[in-house]
Amino acid sequence: MATLESPPPGTSSSAMRNAFGTVLSALILLLIGVLAFSIRLFSVIKYESVIHEFDPYFNYRVTQFLSKNGIYEFWNWFDDRTWYPLGRVIGGTVYPGLTLTAGTIWWALNAINIPLSVETVCVFTAPVFSAFASWATYLLTKEVKGSGAGLAAAALLAMVPSYISRSVAGSYDNEAVAIFALIFTFYLYIKTLNTGSLFYATLNAIAYFYMVCSWGGYTFIINLIPMHVLLCIVTGRYSPRLYIAYAPLVVLGTLLAALVPVVGFNAVLTSEHFASFLVFIIIHVVALVYYIKGILSPKMFKVAVTLVVSIGLVVCLIVVAVLVALVASSPTGGWSGRSLSLLDPTYASKYIPIIASVSEHQPPTWPSYFMDINVLAFLVPAGIIACFSPLSDASSFVVLYIVMSVYFSGVMVRLMLVLAPAACIMSGIALSQAFDVFTASIKYQLGRSANSKDDAEDNTSTNNAPKDDSSSGKTDKGEEVAKERSSKKGKKKEREPADKPSVKSKIAKKRALVLPLEASIVALLLLIMLGAFYVIHCVWAAAEAYSAPSIVLTSQSRDGLHVFDDFRESYAWLSHNTDVDDKVASWWDYGYQTTAMANRTVIVDNNTWNNTHIATVGTAMSSPEKAAWEIFNSLDVKYVLVVFGGLIGYPSDDINKFLWMVRIGGGVFPHIKEADYLRDGNYRIDSEATPTMLNCLMYKLSYYRFVETDGKGYDRVRRTEIGKKNFKLTHFEEVFTSHHWMVRIYKLKPQKNRIRGRAKKLKLKTSSGLDSKAAKKNPWI
Amino acid sequence: MAARNWIFAVAVFLSLSTFSSAQDLQIVNAERRIDLSSHIVKAFLTLKVENIGKDPAADMLLAFPPTQIKNLAMVQALAVMGKKKKKNYLPLDVKPSEQPDAPNDAGYFLVSFATPLGPGETVTLEVLYILTHSLEPFPVEITQSESQLVYYRDSAVVLSPYRIKQQTTFFKTPSTRVESFTSVEPANRAGKEIKYGAYEDRVPYSYAPVIVHFENNSPFAVVEELVREIEISHWGSLQITENYRLTHGGARHKGVFSRVEYQSRRSISGSSSFNALLAVLPPRVNSVYYRDDIGNISTSHLRTGFKKSELEFEPRYPLFGGWKATFIIGYRVPLEDYLFEAPDGRRYLNFTFGCPLVETIVNKLTLKVVLPEGSKDPSAVLPFAVNQDLQVKYSYLDIVGRTVVVLQKDNVVPTHNVPFQVYYTFKPIYMLAEPLMLVSAFFFVFVTSLAYVHIDLNIVKK
């Protein structure tokens, strides 16, 4: 501010330029926010304002509960509508960040009398937070490579398909806010690293706390940051700033994380967090070493080092031995299943079918990379190179970030989401650097042709200097910010004039980067085309690929748009025409939706915390009718819901998921064998299918009276005629089938009145027996 | 049950002192046509009344048995003026009336004549009364393939505190399928019509219970509760939101629901169920939506016209007996069609009461008129009695809240769809309150940020 009030004569124009630049970038940021928000509205425009898919319905239900009953009730909420008869302690098992965020937004809006429904708030939480996320990306990239790169990265992130897939309007899931929290935490870490300010370090711990509240992916942060710290120490980049960036984060962050009920003591007990504590110890040792090095003379220092190293090694060995023993004593080595499958990609498919059965836990394919990050995949290497010239603490962090996230995304397709911001930051840096080089050389070439008659070497450099200052400011930002220690707000404004002296020294270096005019222009055009291609792809992905809410399906045919709204039809039927305490059994995929939309108690749901319970339902589905009826009856189930796509060709129905039910059921109840359901290793439902398959409950409930629709029983998903066509149900009765047969609901028939029936039979038998006996015996009497 | 063909003819309590007027009038001729074709029972009663007393009679009583009085949705009476060619009708004032010693809890309505009926004079009255929930399904539960049979209980003779010289009653059934009807000679059936009478010279309070058991597959659409909210915005529109809780009021569905039978044999399967509903909306309606708690319902068609708009829609699933569904219909109409300025400077809303769904009974209708913020002195004018109440609602950026006029009525039938008015006073300057609030809020934000940028909070001057 001081610069604006008393401008030195030479800098008045550049101060104006700075002010203009600030306003311009603020405007661009605002537009990026609007873009990020509005590109996610395709789902609302093309479909409707509705919660999507499965998990969002649970979050929506929790938010409804929160807004109705308040925060204290929420923490103590024991949900008896799910996992019957076990129930679930929601307050203690859910990451509360998303629900608390939406609940707070709802509460604030209602406090100023804006009567938005909870549903509306939930639907639009994700788009709002993606705008925040793109602003956080701007801040992070700005810390790394300056505001030009920041703007480019923010624009890229605003529409990266991978992130859109999890944050379209209605996709009310943890990731929606967690990605913002992730990027913002990284930004604050880098900011602390660059400034060494305890203020930012504290903010960083709070941002980390928000991330812990929001998503289980917080372990990525608490492992990545220690790795970076370790990297810095190993490469000899230790500084007090690094200490301030790291030590408070571990102490405060761990304390705060332990406050979240779902994490609790896991924050200090599980292996995911050990790396951070180890590095915490290391950084203290290193800090001590640096301190002692400063006090002692080099000779004394050498002596001390040998002494400490010999003692330290012994202590370290003991500690490591104890740790190893502790970790080894727990069955999974202290690692949770999902984390283990991260380290060993084959772990899940070997040991935990329930994790492997979820499609988003599968490794991604190459096309999915192109689908989800598109041209960024090509720009990332350029960004990495740009990060190495020059390598600063901040740029080494983003390099580490992209390397780690590429690895993790290769393990689990869901973690593509973590890769997306890193790819955007890298590509933003690459694009911005490329633009700098090309525009600078165009300017230089044009300037040279204009001044070609004068020799004026110095003139060109002075002409170029003010124009180039923003770009050169970026390249040496690493060194320059390192000089700034104060975090007061006056600093920002002082930074630009402070660049001045270094700019001129850099000009000579710049000269080496000058390219021919034609080449620069062509390259610029190509870059713009690449960007345009990216934008087109992103808009297509947002509009076509990721906007479908999956509870309502549409198909375009010659006579117009067909809407398949069967799921909601059946949920509405359940909620209005069954008793409020009836229990509904279905495969776990539909658990969240049934509780949220139909408000009925379910046996299992998408929170797959109890494998045995899920296996019980899987076993019932794969058992013959009588056995299934007994299992369901023992669970108080009154209705069984199956999803059947055979009539209209909806591929993700229960018959296609059936093998997972068999596997998960067989994992706990060994009498269910996968081989019984396969004919020569093939899964089929036609006349070649095994008798076990044709007699299991799932087959029967799916195909009951299906043959009457077309006379043949042609299944449009499996593209075959079904094996067993005419059969009757003895223990179940059909109570509802939706319009396109996608959802079929059966009721368990009440138990036969056995006592009376038996007594009658018994009486008949005994009487007849007596008669016959009497007839035989009585002649003597 | 159907065999209850005994006649319960009673001539009770002929206390001359209390029913002085009763003895002064007699009904020369009564003809009653009861339409049973839908689940709303409409009875058209033509009475020829003669004053046989010495004094002029100002009014007369209509009597209803206690089983009907609680289901009676509406009674209207017209006096027929003039002769055949230039007949015209004069609406008469009808209001419920209490008689201290009514026999067997009979209920009464008092019809006031336009001009007192002089001795010896006669007048012809056309009376329409509407009964709801009067068709009792029997059997009570039916399966998908059965059609719905109902009982209708009434009297073969008109219940009246007056002597009736001659009377006939016709029951019109929806189809020719009539299982049974109580015979009160002379009674006969031809096609869709059952005729009772003519009966000669019945004493007051004659009663001859009859039961008609017949097929009725018309949609028994009963709205258990309807909340209509009409929000007036002086910026140019009325927003109407209607919350329905619909049920099928007929014979309960029993056992399985088979979609394959419902789809392939539509004519015989689920004949008593209904799947399509029709709502008659105002003509210049726009922004219509149809949804429920879990999102849009995609099965609806809107036809707009000059006189009315029709919204044809389906619930999420076909409704069988006893099944329920909830949904919300919302729409917007231009303000100038419904809001007017009264001569005394007050404004008034002129809108239609009742339920827009055709042929539907509403058990409980709550109509809320949300007046703009700052409105004063609301008063509602209706042609029939309703419960009135005032509430306050807070909506977008309200500070003092909006006055809500709540009108509540039970047992509403389509005949109640008549205009009503809500008068209130409103100063147009209040319209600017919320925009000004927003403007000042933004102004404040910018001023504070301006101030924040210009204040240097550093202790040490750098």
Give the nearest partner residue to B255 out of A113, A114, A733, using CB atoms.
A733
Nearest residue in chain A measured CA to CA from B395: A113
Inter-chain contact B258–A50, Cβ cutoff 8 Å? no
Two structure tokens written together for B198 = 């003519």
Query: In this complex, is the C-beta atom of A734 within 8 Å of any C-beta atom belonging to chain B?
Result: yes
CATH of the domain at B153: 2.60.40.1730
Nearest residue in chain A measured CA to CA from B324: A576
Predicted local distance difference test score (pLDDT) of residue A115: 87
Inter-chain contact B325–A576, Cβ cutoff 8 Å? yes
Same domain, B255 and B367: yes
Query: Using an 8 Å Cβ cutoff, are B329 and B288 in contact?
Result: yes
B contact test, residue of A568, A570, A574, A740 with most B CBs within 10 A: A568
Same domain, B147 and B234: no
Two structure tokens written together for A15 = 């101060």
Find all residues with CB under 8 Å of A45, minimum gap 6, and list them.
none
Question: Pick from B412, B283, B276, B440: which is nearest to B353 by CA?
Answer: B412
Per-residue pLDDT of chain B (462 residues; tens, 9 = 90+): 444 444 343 333 333 334 444 568 888 999 999 999 888 999 999 999 888 888 888 888 899 988 888 888 889 898 888 776 777 888 888 888 888 777 778 888 999 888 888 888 888 889 999 999 889 998 889 888 888 899 999 988 898 888 899 999 999 999 888 888 888 888 888 888 999 878 888 888 888 899 999 998 888 999 999 999 999 988 889 999 999 999 998 888 888 888 888 888 777 777 888 888 999 999 889 899 999 888 888 888 888 888 889 999 989 999 988 899 999 999 999 998 899 988 988 899 999 998 999 889 999 999 999 998 888 889 999 888 889 999 998 888 888 889 999 999 999 999 889 999 999 998 888 888 888 989 999 999 999 988 988 887 777 765
For the CA atoms of chain B, what is the radius of gyration?
28
Q: How many domains does chain B have?
A: 2
Same domain, B252 and B154: no
Sheet holding B193-202, edge to edge: B57-64, B107-117, B88-97, B72-81, B122-131, B41-51, B25-35, B163-172, B193-202, B187-190
Give dist(CA A262, CA A239) in Å, integer.
Answer: 35
Same domain, B301 and B352: yes
Same domain, B74 and B128: yes
Domain ends where: B160, B183, B215? B215
Angle formed at CA B187 by CA B182 and CA B193, multiple of 5 degrees: 90
Scan for tokens 């997306």, then name that residue: A420
Query: In this complex, is the C-beta atom of A565 within 8 Å of any C-beta atom belonging to chain B?
Result: yes
Inter-chain contact B258–A739, Cβ cutoff 8 Å? no
Question: How many beta-carbon pairs below 8 A join chains A and B?
Answer: 88
Structural domain boundaries, residue B428: 221-433
Question: Pick from A474, A311, A298: which is nearest to A390 by CA?
Answer: A474
Question: What are the angstrom distances between the C-alpha of B355 and each of A5, B329, B363?
Answer: 69, 12, 11
Domain ends where: B195, B215, B235? B215
User: At residue A497, does pLDDT exceed 70?
Assistant: no
Give dist(CA B190, CA B210) in Å, integer.
Answer: 17
Is residue B421, in this structure, part of any structural domain at all?
yes
Same domain, B123 and B34: yes
Inter-chain contact B317–A568, Cβ cutoff 8 Å? no
Give dist(CA A220, CA A242) in Å, integer.
Answer: 19
B contact test, residue of A576, A712, A730, A744 with most B CBs within 10 A: A576
Is residue B192, in this structure, part of any structural domain at all?
yes
- Rounded to 5 degrees, φ, ψ at B287 are 50, 50
Query: In this complex, is the C-beta atom of A573 within 8 Å of any C-beta atom belonging to chain B?
Result: yes
Contacts of A576 in chain B (CB under 8 A): 323-326
Is residue B52, in this structure, part of any structural domain at all?
yes
List the beta strands (DSSP E) in A15-158: 78-79, 88-89
Amino acid at A763: K
Nearest residue in chain B measured CA to CA from A568: B294
Angle formed at CA A316 by CA A315 and CA A320, multiple of 5 degrees: 120
- Rounded to 5 degrees, φ, ψ at A69 are -110, -10
Inter-chain contact A737–B298, Cβ cutoff 8 Å? no
Same domain, B82 and B154: yes
Percent helix, strand, coil in chain A (nearest 5)?
70, 5, 25
Is residue B5, in this structure, part of any structural domain at all?
no
**Structural domains in chain A?**
24-433 (no CATH), 562-748 (3.40.50.12610)
Give the nearest partner residue to B324 out of A48, A576, A708, using CB atoms.
A576
Same domain, B276 and B167: no
Is residue B266, in this structure, part of any structural domain at all?
yes
Inter-chain contact B453–A1, Cβ cutoff 8 Å? yes
What would the mean pLDDT of A278-301 be, rounded to a whole number? 86
Using CA of residue B352, residue B353, residue B356, residue B359, what is the dihedral sign?
A: negative
Is residue B10, in this structure, part of any structural domain at all?
no
Same domain, B187 and B278: no
Query: In this complex, is the C-beta atom of A698 within 8 Å of any C-beta atom belonging to chain B?
Result: no
Q: Min CA distance, B389 vs chain A (Å)?
A: 23
Inter-chain contact B323–A576, Cβ cutoff 8 Å? yes
Higher-scoring residue by pLDDT: A340, A604: A604
Contacts of B263 in chain A (CB under 8 A): 709
Nearest residue in chain A measured CA to CA from B453: A1
Give dist(CA A42, CA A369) in Å, integer.
Answer: 22
Question: Pick from A409, A436, A441, A438: which is nearest to A422 by CA?
Answer: A409
Scan for tokens 């004493």, then name that residue: B203
Is residue B424, in this structure, part of any structural domain at all?
yes
Give dist(CA B290, CA B298) in Å, integer.
Answer: 8
Predicted local distance difference test score (pLDDT) of residue A255: 93
Is residue B336, in this structure, part of any structural domain at all?
yes
Q: How many CB atoms lie within 10 A of CB A67?
A: 20
Q: Min CA distance, B403 vs chain A (Å)?
A: 15
Question: What are the angstrom distances between the C-alpha of A96 and each of A63, A174, A213, B64?
Answer: 9, 9, 6, 62
Using CA of residue A364, residue A369, residue A372, residue A376, what is the dihedral sign?
A: positive
- Rounded to 5 degrees, φ, ψ at A46 are -75, -35
Give the SS3 label for residue A744.
Answer: strand
Same domain, B271 and B147: no
- In this predicted complex, what is the ipTM? 0.87
For the CA atoms of chain A, what is the radius of gyration?
33
Q: Min CA distance, A710 vs chain B (Å)?
A: 10
SS3 assignment for chain B: CCCCCCCCCCCCCCCCCCCHHHHHEEEEEEEEEEECCCCCEEEEEEEEEEECCCCCEEEEEEEECHHHHCCEEEEEEEEEECCCCCCEEEEEEEEEECCCCCHHHCEEEEEEEEEEECCCCEEEEEEEEEECCCEEECCCEECCCCCCEEEEEEECCCCCCCEEEEEEEEEECCCCCEEEECCCCCEEEECCEEEEEEEEEECCCCCCEEEEEEECCCCCEEEEEEEEEEEEECCCEEEEEEEEEEEECCCEECCCCCHHHHHHCCCCCCCCCECCEEEEECCCCEEEEEEECCEECCCEEEECCCCCEEEEECCCCCECCCCEEEEEEEEEEEHHHCEEECCCCCEEEEEECCCCECCCEEEEEEEEEECCCCCEEEEEECCCCCEEEEEEECCCCCCCCEEEEEEEEEEECHHHCCEEEEEEECCHHHHHHHHHHHHHHHHHHHHHHHHHHHCCCCCCCC
Q: Min CA distance, B411 vs chain A (Å)?
A: 23
Q: What would the pLDDT profile of B236-270 be if each residue is shown by its tens digit?
A: 899 999 999 999 988 888 888 888 888 887 777 77
Q: Min CA distance, A48 vs chain B (Å)?
A: 7
Question: Pick from B75, B59, B48: which is nearest to B20 by CA?
Answer: B59
Predicted local distance difference test score (pLDDT) of residue A367: 84
Give dist(CA B195, CA B190) in Å, integer.
Answer: 8
Domain ends where: B170, B194, B215? B215
Same domain, B127 and B174: yes
Amino acid at B49: V
Q: How many CB atoms lie within 10 A of CB A621?
A: 27
Give the nearest partner residue to B394 out of A113, A573, A733, using CB atoms.
A113
Same domain, B191 and B304: no
Q: What would the pLDDT profile of A706-762 be if each residue is shown by its tens digit?
A: 888 888 888 888 888 888 888 888 889 999 999 888 999 999 988 776 665 555 555
Inter-chain contact A552–B295, Cβ cutoff 8 Å? yes
Inter-chain contact B256–A2, Cβ cutoff 8 Å? no
What would the mean pLDDT of A321-330 be, rounded to a whole number? 77
Two structure tokens written together for A708 = 């009457």
Percent of chain A with pLDDT over 70: 83
Give the nearest partner residue to A113 out of B295, B396, B462, using CB atoms.
B396
Predicted local distance difference test score (pLDDT) of residue A724: 85
Would you list which residues of chain B are within 8 Å, Cβ to Cβ, of chain A? 255-260, 263-264, 292, 294-298, 316-317, 322-326, 394-399, 453-454, 456-458, 462
Inter-chain contact B257–A736, Cβ cutoff 8 Å? yes
Using CA of residue B95, residue B97, residue B103, residue B106, what is the dihedral sign?
A: positive
Nearest residue in chain A measured CA to CA from B257: A735
Q: Min CA distance, B392 vs chain A (Å)?
A: 13
Inter-chain contact B294–A568, Cβ cutoff 8 Å? yes
Contacts of A572 in chain B (CB under 8 A): 292, 294, 316-317, 325
Query: Mean pLDDT over all residues of chain A?
Result: 82
Query: In this complex, is the C-beta atom of A593 within 8 Å of any C-beta atom belonging to chain B?
Result: no
| pTM, two decimal places | 0.85
Q: Which of residues 9-68 of A touch B (CB under 8 A)?
A: 48, 50
Q: What would the pLDDT profile of B27-86 be if each residue is shown by its tens digit?
A: 899 999 999 988 899 999 999 988 888 888 888 889 998 888 888 888 989 888 877 677
Q: What would the pLDDT profile of A78-109 be if each residue is shown by its tens digit?
A: 988 888 888 888 888 889 999 999 999 999 99
Query: In this complex, is the C-beta atom of A553 within 8 Å of any C-beta atom belonging to chain B?
Result: no
Contacts of B317 in chain A (CB under 8 A): 569-570, 572-573, 736, 738-739
Query: In this complex, is the C-beta atom of A457 within 8 Å of any C-beta atom belonging to chain B?
Result: no
Nearest residue in chain B measured CA to CA from A494: B462
Give the nearest partner residue to B256 out of A112, A708, A733, using CB atoms.
A733
Nearest residue in chain A measured CA to CA from B314: A569
A contact test, residue of B259, B440, B457, B460 with most A CBs within 10 A: B259
Q: What would the pLDDT profile of B95-120 be if each residue is shown by its tens digit?
A: 888 887 777 788 889 998 888 888 88
Inter-chain contact A568–B316, Cβ cutoff 8 Å? yes
Give the nearest partner residue to B260 out of A576, A709, A738, using CB atoms.
A709
- Rounded to 5 degrees, φ, ψ at A511 are -50, -35
